[in-house]
Structure 1
Amino acid sequence: MRSIATIALIAAAATAHADESVRTGAAAYGDWRSDAPGVRRLITPADLPQPYATPTVANPSSLVSRPPGALPKAPPGFTVDLIASGLSEPRVIRTAPNGDLFVAESGAGRVLAFRADGTSPAPAKPRVFAENLPQVFGIAFYPPGPDPRWIYVATPGSVLRFPYRSGDLAASGPPETVVPDLPRGGAHWTRDLAFAPDGQTMFVSVGSATNDADGLKAIAARFMGMDQERDRADVLAFDPDGRRKRTYATGLRNCSGLTVEPASGALWCVVNEHGLGDDLPPDYATRVAEGGFYGWPWFYIGAHEDPSHKGERPDLAGKVRVPDALFQPHSAPLGITFYEGGQFPAEYRGDAFVAFHGSWNRAKRTGYKVVRLLMTDGRPTGVYEDFLVGFVAGDAGVWGRPVDVAVTRDGALLVTDDEGGAIWRVTFHS
């Protein structure tokens, strides 16, 4: 039986086939040279090549200086401004209900607060809201709504919360440890946070410790009952005080970005998959269903069996949920937000923006951009569109790598760039 997500992707593919502006099938794949604002792509499960149709390669990017006058490129009518620079790996960015901006400066181990008064593109000089937070990533306000009383932050091994009142630019007291024992070590250190709309549940994403649960160490750990992947590749759920830990969804190799879709209240994440060649398996964005299993490490994108685990778990083949939107493999999506602002054209409202950090293990570089995920009547179409491009200087070098996206109170889009140490602001002028 086909899943709802698979049926939706098939329907979207049929629509896209009639729309010559959407690249489908082999044409949906490419590299940074084919990126341009407005280019649309649709990748479906039927488009996937065979495992290792091409070799897996290591092709890390090198940082180069941003060329004088160079700016990321957005669609016509949009303006891009640099509003902060010289930061140490800015990653997650969140807008407080009062309009202030909070940024996880992961390289410096601190959370920065920017006062944004809406009168100029650049916010005031940042204040240090909290520090001594090694590899801080996730940020969330609690309770949901206009008057939060806490700011929660996540490090690789814990979730903390700081007392907060609207307008605070520095924590008024020491943090309280809410979750002291998130699994740490291995790969994938990012931990993102989100709260259910009713404020009753806190979600925490935890990526896998290994690439694809292979190798003697992982196998020995499983047989000896010391599984290093316990509570990994999962979205965990807790009460807001950190109690009643439970597993909400599994098989999500590295769900770096969590968010809640405002209209439906559905939990979403963007996931980094591993490598079975240049064009497999796709990264993706998806609604996260309670009890949902998304395949890793045994399967990918439905019942496609990973050759590294051939024959290990045939019983799971029919239980894998197909994600809502597939992205070019190795794009490395890290952040997602839904646009509910009033500044962009009306057709953007309800769509999602996703930040692609960019490939390091693909022969031809891909990613390094922000895309728009198109929705229809609150449901994903599977089609995504290049929105902000231009961070790649050439085949070897890049001057920026997008990480996260957020919408300001006046409807602008903010993009963090950890490689360039920058924050970009995209506005629309009719």
Structure 2
Amino acid sequence: MTFENYPKQIFIGLSAIFVQLIYSTASIAAEPVMITVSKGFGLTLFASDLGDAKQLALGSNGTLFVGSYKEGTITALVDANQDGRVDKRYTIAKGLHYPEAIAFKDGDLYVAEDDRVLRFVDIESRLRRPGRPKEVYDRLPGNTKKSKRAMHFGPDGKLYIAIGSTCNVCEPETPFGSIIAIDVNTGESEQIVSGVRKVGAFDWSVKDKELWFSDLSRDWMGDNLPPDEINKVETVGSHYGFPYIHATDVIEPAYDKPENLKVVAPQYELPAHVAPMGLHFYRGEQFPERYRNQMFVAENGSWNRSSKVGYQIVMLEIEDKQVVKRSTVVSFLDGEFPVARPHSLITAPDGGMYISDDFKGNIYRLYYKNPQKNQSQDNE
């Protein structure tokens, strides 16, 4: 089954109503699949055929960059006429080792590959011929096949990189199982947090610039344990429990927690195995007021659970610096069939939101149908 024959305008969503998406394979008619979209929103297919599309980065001129894992490629997507569909695509690099983590700053594209960080200078003016990248850091740990990564520039101008543990449960060697911050000009680095298993994504809240991150808890403790985590950094150098404690109070039987180790509990617990690979604070104005500056999470889904959960985009509503509500905005799960595995999120130039799918290699565009109406009203 492929998504290549899907219409560009995929569907308009209505709350609690499934909308049919038709596809075909050769001359054989396939069963329709269902995707749910919250009332007032629509979803379109922005781009396809991108392999295992992972992290997204947005250029100053609106170019959408897509990192991959197995494909080893970095792709640039351009919507030249700004109609919500990709018009041109460029291969920035290929043959790299697991370049899933990318970031953009001051005209340059940064890529974490194996034990180094590469910089493609003035990339948006060189999409056809990007040239050879410059190495700006060479002290990342290897073993990128098992250690997943995420990367963004922080408000302080430093390059933050999440370096996942290489195991389901173990005592990882530093800097595995941590988030570090790098000064790309001097090469100096600092460990921001430790005691994490697999940080899928992180972002800074729009209003107070606090760093939030998601962490995938260990597998093989059953369908409902341990919960996946949403965490916040209040003190640099804090430890978040892995591998000794999962979520708030799930004790790891294989390892004893050191007596003097202070562990920071999660800000919010997600259901076990939803796999929060994407986390992004919405920075646009197209969505209604209640969605602005709120946290959106891409739940990549439950590969090892007896019945599937996740495979959706949720909004975590924050009040007084606490998560008070979790609501589904888009669900890609049709019964036990995942139509997509959403991985990363980023606010689009027009105020919509791009969503990467590492299952079928698609990029979706989430938008609000009528941004001119009263944005302060809730759209339940």
Please say whether Structure 1 and Structure 2 have the same fold, judged by a TM-score greater than 0.5.
yes
1:383 and 2:346 aligned = no
Q: 1:188 to 1:367 in 2, by over 3 A?
A: farther
1:296 and 2:242 aligned = yes
5 Å matches for 1:199-210? 199=157, 201-210=158-167
Return the alpha-carbon distance in structure 2 between the equivalents of residues 72 and 121 of structure 1: 19
Tell me the CA shift for residue 340 of structure 1: 1.5
Tell me the CA shift for residue 337 of structure 1: 1.1
Is the contact between residue 156 and residue 190 of structure 1 (CA under 8 Å) also seen in structure 2? no
Structure 1 unaligned blocks of 5 or more: 1-35, 39-63, 143-147, 219-227
The aligned amino acid for 1:245 is S
SS at match of 1:347: helix
Q: 1:265 aligns with which of 201, 206, 209?
A: 209
Q: Write 1 or 2 for the structure with the bigger share of strand.
A: 2
5 Å matches for 1:155-166? 155-164=113-122, 166=124
Q: 1:245 aligns with which of 160, 179, 189?
A: 189
Deviations 1:301-334 (A, max 9, x none): 345432222x442332xx1111222111101111
Q: CA RMSD in A?
A: 2.6
The aligned amino acid for 1:412 is G
The aligned amino acid for 1:279 is N
Deviations 1:178-223 (A, max 9, x none): 2223223287432211222131x2211001111111xxxx7xxxxx
Q: 1:90 to 1:117 in 2, by over 3 A?
A: same
Q: 2:131 aligns with which of 158, 173, 187?
A: 173
Higher relative contact order (CA 8 A, sep 6+): 1
Structure 2 unaligned blocks of 5 or more: 1-13, 17-23, 371-380
The aligned amino acid for 1:98 is N
Is the contact between residue 194 and residue 260 of structure 1 (CA under 8 Å) also seen in structure 2? no
The answer for the alignment partner of 2:4 in structure 1 is none
5 Å matches for 1:76-115? 76-115=39-78
Return the alpha-carbon distance in structure 2 between the equivalents of residues 229 and 323 of structure 1: 22
The answer for the alignment partner of 1:151 in structure 2 is 109
Q: 2:357 aligns with which of 393, 417, 422?
A: 417
Q: 1:179 to 1:75 in 2, by over 3 A?
A: same
The answer for the alignment partner of 1:392 in structure 2 is 333
Return the alpha-carbon distance in structure 2 between the equivalents of residues 83 and 72 of structure 1: 16
Tell me the CA shift for residue 100 of structure 1: 1.6
Q: Write 1 or 2 for the structure with the bigger share of helix.
A: 1
The aligned amino acid for 1:385 is S
Q: 1:376 to 1:170 in 2, by over 3 A?
A: farther
Q: 1:68 to 1:95 in 2, by over 3 A?
A: farther
TM-score if structure 2 supplies the norm length?
A: 0.83
The aligned amino acid for 2:305 is R
Return the alpha-carbon distance in structure 2 between the equivalents of residues 106 and 186 of structure 1: 10
Tell me the CA shift for residue 266 of structure 1: 2.0
Deviations 1:140-183 (A, max 9, x none): 122xxxxx132111124322111025554246431122222322
The aligned amino acid for 1:249 is V
* Larger displacement relative to structure 2 (268-277 or 237-246): 237-246
5 Å matches for 1:41-80? 70=33, 72-80=35-43
SS at match of 2:254: helix
Return the alpha-carbon distance in structure 1 between the equivalents of residues 125 and 206 of structure 2: 24
